[in-house]
Amino acid sequence: MTPPNTSLGKALLANAFLTFSLAACLMPTSSHAQPTSGAAATAASTATNPLLAPWSGPYGGVPAFDKVKVEQFKPALEAAMAENLREIDVIAGNKQAPTFDNTIAALERAGERLDEVRTVYGIWSGTLSSPDVQAIEREMSPRMAAFADQINQNEPLFRRVEAVYNSPAKKQLTPEQQRLTWVYYNNFVRAGAKLDATAKSRLSAINQRLAGLFTRFSQNVLADETDSVLVLKSPAEMSGLPASLRDDAANAATARKLTAAGAITNTRSSIEPFLTYSDQRKLREKAWRMFYNRGDNGGVHDNNAIITQILQLRAERAKLLGYKTHAHWRLDNTMAKTPEAAMALMEEVWTPAVARVKQEVADMQALAKKEGAPADFKIEPWDYRYYAEKVRKARYDLDQNEVKQYLQLDKMREGMFWVAGELFNFNFTPVTDVPVYHPDVKVWEVKDKTTGKHVGLWYFDPYARPGKRSGAWMNAYRNQQRMDGKEVATIVSNNSNFVKGKEGQPVLISWTDASTLFHEFGHALHGLSSNVTYPTLAGTSVVRDYVEFPSQLLENWLPTPQVLNRFALHYQTGKPIPQALVDRIEKASTFNQGFETTEFLASALIDMKLHLAGDQKIDPDKFERETLAQLGMPREIVMRHRTPQFSHVFSSDGYSAGYYSYLWSVVLAADAFSAFTEAGGPYDKAVGQRLTKYVFSVGNTVDPAEAYRKFRGRDPKIDALMKERGFPMTAKKTTKAPAKAPVKKGVGKKS
């Protein structure tokens, strides 16, 4: 998925409770953060708290990760909030008539210190989450939400923004300035700026309560991921696992100081390979239950009651803001515009996906019977990946483990760099002159290959560890901008959860993991390609169902011969992947798409239906069970993200009623890649230049539907997606984008 962008941007001061970060650290709060003696207090704080010092050093300044101490976060957030409030008071209290420069641009200039503190705080929350960090989160998240609302509900400030928005002089502004003005005004209105005092008070109470619940939800999932492990007591319990997975399991046991042959940690990158290869069915079931029951085990870390409360509060908030449901409020600010439009797309794909699952299950049942399974044997969810892999091997002579031997993590990273050079003219050079927050993190400088101009920095945090949330995601530590004639380069990061190997040994990853790596790198390239004036409109700051489009699109370059021949090299011989194996991968490209599509869509449909249910009190487990039955969910599959661990939806508002956006973006990506294949191929220079000009570089300076039309010459069609997945076409072929699509700030994660 991509979450999250911790450099949230100045416009979100007017829309803060809509945003998300690594651990529900949305926005700071003011009622506990009043300045003691103005600028003098801030100066004193800066001297004693390095988090409050401006980023310094090379590349336009970098985070001082080497100086961070957990106990500094709370006072730093409080001091930065106090400073930001003073900045806001100056803007709101300006006696001059409101103009773009003294109101909108002034808001863009405000909050720099807070952005920087919150960025570092978000990194610790998401990747170094100790009990001390979690205690700070529990205290500060409601305060951050209250702070956001103090700005959202600042009447004099909103009146100034509204005056600029309604002023005839707006026509004299540049298109980007007009877009920015609209973003500020729209965000204020959606955050309740036009409500009366009583409604505003209740809205703020809801936002504070939600912020606390988001934090508890996230911490509960993390606890189940960190504390649970499947111990493999003997080599016999690793039966069926290829050598690389045996090594990973042994390394995990060593890292956890377990006296055992191996250990399977409770993360997707560890669980899914075990479910694919282990021939110990009882252990597969244990691993499956451990992973899919996160947040659903009763006790102190159970999330069901929290979900019920979140849904009730979201429904109440939507009504306060004048919307029928939370889903209607959320989608009003997207390309889809309405829940009905999103549901129509999902339902169009759901039927052929489920039909394909039935075929896949029949194939697996036949193979199991052929191998001597009992007459009453039925494929269970913990069997699906295991037997699917057997069918793949039998039908296509394709063993995923054979493919994995050619997919070294470091080589795949080099392949991504090469693609970035071909498509975006970027060059990546490792640097060691910047501090990092963990020894596993490495940093590269990005330059334009032709001019040598500095573009930004790319941080890479590839490995799983206790205290790091699962999945893969991209962050923007700092957004690109050039306000007031000053060029500011971006800083972005990619984060994964691969199992770290022994020193000197290559880390081998699956084809799916390699695709995810390219996906998240697509988000990073979206940020690095940004070429705008105002930070709020930069990079990945686009609507939720558009932000995944560039990242989904980049996955298409992994299987290109140019990448595979150069970078898919055998970890022992160094020889490139054989063409015969590549051909088998291509022939099997639509294999198992029923499973892949159905497990995703089940999560997206449950998400949408939960938020269309309005204010009815929901038992999450019961709702999930009954709704899936109504949808005709195959019993052999579960949702990719079951409700009690659905962090995309319940650790923040980020993807709530918005998980469908991955499918929406996949439609765009499949259609967009067809522009390359219809021209000179994946590296066609003319199409690549259009892609950069109209998609990757413009951020949110233009309406995304308009931007897509400029790139493609028309609205997107669903044909390419259906063909890509091997599904039959229906009569409905075009995903019609609205004439105008409002925006939402954020970035995604895939997990």
Q: Report which of 714, 719, 721 is spatially closest to residue 737, judged by C-alpha positions.
A: 714
Determine the angle formed by the axes of helices 661-678 and 593-612, rounding to 10 degrees.
140
- The confidence band for 502, taking pLDDT boundaries of 50, 70 and 90, is confident
Q: What is the pLDDT of residue 729?
A: 73
Q: How far is 2 from 21, CA to CA, in rounded Å?
A: 11
Burial of 636-654, coded b for 16+ CB within 10 Å and e otherwise, reads bbbbbbbbbbbbbbbbbbb
DSSP 3-state percent helix, strand, coil across the chain (nearest 5): 55, 10, 35
Confidence of residue 45 (pLDDT cuts 50, 70, 90): low
In this structure, are strands 490-498 and 454-463 parallel, antiparallel, or unpaired?
Answer: parallel
Q: Mean pLDDT over residues 429-458, rounded?
A: 98
**What are the pLDDT digits (tens) for 346-359?**
999 999 999 999 99
Q: What pLDDT does residue 745 have? A: 31
Which of 412-416, 430-434, 727-731 has the least mean pLDDT?
Answer: 727-731
Q: Kindly tell me the sign of the dihedral angle through the C-alpha atoms of 149, 151, 156, 162.
A: negative
- Residues 416 and 519: their CA atoms lie apart, in Å, by 10
Cα separations in angstroms, 689 against 246, 256, 561, 693: 45, 49, 21, 6
pLDDT grade, residue 46 (50/70/90)? Answer: low
Query: What is the DSSP code (8-state) at residue 55?
Result: P
- pLDDT bucket at 23, cuts 50 / 70 / 90: very low
With a pLDDT cut of 90, the percent of the chain lying above it is 88
**Is residue 369 predicted with pLDDT exceeding 90?**
yes
Residue 730 has pLDDT above 90, yes or no: no
Closest CA to 370 of 382, 387, 384: 387
The pTM for the full model equals 0.89
Which residue would you say has higher pLDDT here, 163 or 745? 163
Candidates 520, 548, 624, 636; catalytic one: 520
State the pLDDT confidence band at 743, using cuts at 50, 70 and 90.
Answer: very low
User: Residue 699 above 70 pLDDT?
Assistant: yes
Mean pLDDT, to the nearest integer, of 557-571? Answer: 97
- Between CA 581 and CA 599 the distance in angstroms is 27
389 catalytic per annotation: no
Beta-carbon contacts of 352 under 8 Å, excluding residues fewer than 6 positions away, are 722, 727, 728, 730
Give me the domains of the chain, ranges plus CATH numbers: 51-194 (1.20.1050.40), 228-293 (no CATH), 405-588 (1.10.1370.40)
pLDDT at 215 over 80: yes
Query: Using H for helix, E for strand and C for coil, what is the string for 667-725?
Result: HHHHHHHHHHHHCCCCCCHHHHHHHHHHHHCCCCCCCHHHHHHHHHCCCCECHHHHHHH
What local confidence, expressed as pLDDT, does residue 751 receive?
A: 53
For residue 26, is pLDDT > 50? no
User: Distance between CA atoms of 640 and 633, rounded to whole angstroms?
Assistant: 12
Is residue 249 within 8 A of residue 241, CB to CB? The reply is yes
Mean pLDDT confidence for 8-25: 33
Per the rule left: phi > 0, alpha: psi between -120 and 50, beta: everything else, 185 is alpha
**Which pLDDT value is given to residue 16?**
33
Pairing of strands 262-265, 229-232: antiparallel
Whether residue 750 has pLDDT greater than 60: no
Angle at 176 between CA 485 and CA 54, to 5 degrees: 40
Mean pLDDT value across residues 47-76: 95
Q: How confident is the model at residue 9, as a pLDDT?
A: 35
Residues 399-415, mean pLDDT to the nearest whole number = 95
* Distance separating alpha carbons of residues 586 and 485, to the nearest angstrom: 49
Using the predicted structure, report yes or no on whether residue 4 has a pLDDT greater than 80: no
Instruction: Tally helices (H) and strands (E) across the chain.
Output: 28, 8
Instruction: Look up residue 199 and give its two tokens.
Output: 């409604």
Nearest to 384 by CA among 471, 285, 512, 470: 285
Please tell me the predicted confidence (pLDDT) of residue 728.
87
CA pair distance 102, 97, nearest whole angstrom: 9
Give residue 48's pLDDT band: very low, low, confident or very high (50, 70, 90): confident
Q: Token pair for residue 27?
A: 């926005």
Please name which of 640, 624, 635 lies closest in space to residue 272, comparing C-alpha atoms: 640
Q: Is the dihedral of CA 88, 90, 96, 101 positive or negative?
A: negative
pLDDT, one tens digit per residue, over 127-171 is 999 999 999 999 999 999 999 999 999 999 999 999 999 999 999
On average, the pLDDT of the chain sits at 91
Task: Average the pLDDT over 249-276 and give the result.
Answer: 94
Tens-digit pLDDT profile for residues 278-321: 999 999 999 999 999 999 999 999 999 999 999 999 999 999 99
| Contact assessment for residue 746 and residue 544, using Cβ atoms and an 8 Å cutoff | yes
Q: Is the pLDDT of residue 615 over 70?
A: yes
pLDDT in tens, 618-637: 999 999 999 999 999 999 99
Going by pLDDT thresholds of 50, 70 and 90, the confidence category of residue 28 is: very low
- Cβ proximity of 24 and 652 under 8 Å: yes
pLDDT for 734: 44
